Amino acid sequence: AQSVTQLGSHVSVSEGALVLLRCNYSSSVPPYLFWYVQYPNQGLQLLLKYTTGATLVKGINGFEAEFKKSETSFHLTKPSAHMSDAAEYFCAVSKMSSNTGKLIFGQGTTLQVKP
């Protein structure tokens, strides 16, 4: 069975500081990996995804993530936090071989950006 663990339910950084949100997954087959962002009272928006190929994936709003198979990790980073980055972030996994595209989500990490 697949699962996702996001380390840290709340992360607080200062504006301009590095953002690091951690995600570890469990999957018996090659995974597809995703990061979604959710602003208050809105749906989820895709930040970036890893399917195949390059393990360093660049997404929207300056975010990037690196797929590390040996560590079963897909951590999300951004060099310099902006106030508008404050939101909830979800890591998700899907089976590469799945015929359903079903996503398994982590519990989420709330990012707070302090001025």
Q: Which residue has the tokens 């009272």?
A: 41
- Residue 40 engages other proteins in binding (rule: CB under 8 A): no
Q: How far is the CB of 53 from other proteins (least distance, A)?
A: 11
End-to-end CA distance of the chain: 41
- Tokens representing residue 89 in the block: 């972030």
| DSSP reduced 3-state for 84 | helix
Question: In the complex with other proteins, which residue's Cβ is closer, 63 or 90?
Answer: 90
Q: Return the residues of window 12-31 that contact other proteins according to CB under 8 A.
A: none
DSSP of 11-38, one letter per residue?
EEEETTS-EEEEEEEE-SSPEEEEEEEE
Q: Return the residues of window 78-97 that contact other proteins according to CB under 8 A.
A: 90, 92, 94
Q: How far is the CB of 113 from other proteins (least distance, A)?
A: 20
- Tokens representing residue 3 in the block: 């699962």
Residues contributing to the site for other proteins (CB under 8 A): 4, 9, 32, 36, 41-46, 49, 51, 90, 92, 94, 99-103, 105-108
